[in-house]
Each structure stands twice: as structure tokens, then as C-alpha cells.
Amino acid sequence: MKFIQVKAENFRNISFADVLTDAEDIVLTGINGQGKTNFLEIIYLLCYGSSFRTNHLKEAIKHGENSFSLSAITENDKEIREHIRLTFSEGKRRIEIDGKEIQDRRELIYSFPCIVFSHDDILFVKGEPENRRRFFDQMMSLYSPLFLDSLRSYRTVLLQRNAAIKQGNKTIIGLYDKRLALYGLEIMKERAEAIYGFNSVFPDLFKEISETNLNITVKYQPSWKMEDSDEIVSYLEDNVERDIILSTTSSGPHRDRFTVMSDDVPFSSVGSTGQIRLASILFRIAEAKYFFQKTGKKPLLLIDDVLLELDSKKRGAVLSSLPEYSQAFYTFLPSESYFSEHKENALQYEVSEGEFSVDRS
């Protein structure tokens, strides 16, 4: 799948844009603050229905306006074109494909698989545990509808159980334990499988690009050590008093840990800043490679100025290690050139104050 044409109105600093994107590689250049990342956010929104920069779409409305609209013409591998439109007005998001409103964002996710590389990705390596949980949950949701269903169901039951905990009613709390255990076991099983697959890709990739012998892997540590739902229910019952005191469910997949390890030591405590930044970029490349292994589909890549902190050799190595993709969007500062000759046909735009002009240099 690729984007053929993208339009935006009243989105962040973009009053109006109509950008042709019918190429495998699209490069956006310009100084910071001109709208390069805003354009990547538009593509991401049209792929996911959500933003990678904010949980509140109201923040993306251009100052002085009260709504924004985004649209695109896309083309799949069979050269069939679709029209996607996303509008946000009066606090409500509406998404349409070929004029038909979609009710569940999963219709976008599995039609337009997209992976974004951003500066905040460094939190996957050195940030809090919830950052890595979010990364792997998103990675798995991209290729597994069953995992996404289990995750959604688990979160719904967790919210219900936590509400009962706040009431202090043990009878009501117990009504949710069995379902929490069943959904949780399914999540744990799929997470363990995903980490096994991720570790079949990531360590060798890091060694190759970093040119070191560091063995960097991800260790999965489930909150529940049991593998039987009845055992988990008993555990929840035994710890219900603690949960009531804490006013929350204190164990379960929402507490699972994913730790980036260098042999037997957390990588965040021994890796240099440059190595940690490189690892965060390679997390995304490993995700894209694993996605292709699982589905045979080529993802769309959004690469947002994440190479600046790497030396020129590693920049080239990272770009050369990218997996097969349907289309890639890159943001660069002026005069940056990381591409080898095979990228010379990239479609290039200069971005200035929210406006896009073809770079013919």
C-alpha cells in the first residue's frame, strides 16, 4: 500500500496542503519547526486514526480554527485505489473509506500497516516499563487481530475490576477474576512468542550496525508466574486485600516487564548514549522486519529525523538495513544526504511554514 496524494486543512501549522506522493521514497527537507513532522503525523493519522504525538487531537487543530480535515488517495498492491478521509470537529473524530464511515480503527490498522521512527523511541530502551509494553503491544497488534481483541477485552475487564476495588466489594471483584485470568493468559502467551521472534532479529541486527559483540536482547518478565487460570484466580483472591488498599489491580499483564539486556545486565545502565539511541532506531527496524516475517506484507515507514545523532557511517548502515517496505517518508534538515545512488529517484519537497514545494536540486 502507498499514498498517492495527501491533502490537509487547518492541521497544526498547515493551513492547506495538497501534496503528490506517488513514489516509493518521499523526502521532506527544511529547518526545524516548518511542518515536516506534522506531515508524517498526517500520514500516521490516516493509517491509525490516532496520533503518535498526542492523545488529544484538539491540540492538532491550527491556532484560531475549530476543526481539521485530512484526506488521501491510496493504492494497494493490486493497484486498487481508495479514498481515506479523517475529520476532527467539536471533539469528535470521523473516519471514512470511500465515503463509508468506519466504526473501528482496526479497519485502518490492517489495511494500512505503518511504522514510525521518532525521537521518543529512545524511551523504549531507557524509559519506564510501560513504554516497552506499549511498543510490543503495538507491534503485536499490527499483525495479530486476535491479540488486539484479547488486549482490548483485558483492558475492559481490568477497568471494571478496578472500579469494584474502589468500592471495596469483594463479591463484585471476584466476578471479574476468571475473565481477567483467561484474557491475561492469552496476552502472556502471545507476548512470550513475540519476544522470541523479536530476539531472533534484533541481536544480530544490533551487532551488525553497531560493529560490536554486545549481545542485546529483550527479556520478558510476566507479572503472573502461573500458567493455569484457576491458579491465577486463586492468586487474585489471596491478594484482594492488598488490591483494595492500593485501590488498583496490582498484578497482571498490565504490570509485565520487558527489559533490554546486555547479557545479564540492563542495557540502559551500561550502554552509551549513542548505543542506546542506535538501539532505539533498530527496535523499529526489527519491528518492521518481524512484521514482514509474520505477514508477508511490506509496511509503510515514517522516519522522522532520527539519524542526526549517529555518525555518517552508521546513518548509511541504518538506511541500508531497512526492511522491504511499500513506501517510506523521511524528514531531513537542509543539505543532509544519507542516501546511496539507488535513492536518487526519491520525490523531494522543501517544507517552509507549513507549505510544500518540489525540491528540484
- Domain residues for the domain of 38 are 1-113+297-361
Cell numbers linked to 111: 489495511
Amino acid at site 315 = R
Could you tell me if residue 152 is inside a domain?
no
Distance CA 72, CA 18 (A): 9
Task: Report the share of the chain in percent with pLDDT over 90.
Answer: 84
Q: Which helix (H) or strand (E) holds 14?
A: strand 14-20
Cell numbers linked to 71: 484526506
Could you tell me if residue 232 is inside a domain?
no
Could you tell me if residue 290 is inside a domain?
no
The string of pLDDT tens digits covering residues 192-228 is 999 999 999 999 999 999 999 999 999 999 999 999 9
Q: Residue 122: how many CA atoms within 13 Å on its side-chain side?
A: 14
Is residue 361 over pLDDT 70? no
What pLDDT, on the 0 to 100 scale, is given for residue 180? 98
Domain count for the chain, please give it: 1
Q: In terms of DSSP H, where are the helices of the chain? A: 36-48, 106-109, 123-126, 129-143, 145-167, 170-199, 202-210, 229-238, 240-246, 267-270, 273-295, 312-320
Do 339 and 322 meet the contact criterion of CB atoms below 8 Å apart? Answer: no
Nearest to 276 by CA among 132, 130, 126: 126
Could you tell me if residue 121 is inside a domain?
no
Could you tell me if residue 286 is inside a domain?
no
Secondary structure letter of residue 102 according to DSSP: P
Q: Residue 109: how many CA atoms within 13 Å on its side-chain side?
A: 16
CATH number of 28's domain: 3.40.50.300
Could you tell me if residue 356 is inside a domain?
yes
What pLDDT, on the 0 to 100 scale, is given for residue 108? 84
Q: How confident is the model at residue 241 (pLDDT cuts 50, 70, 90)?
A: very high
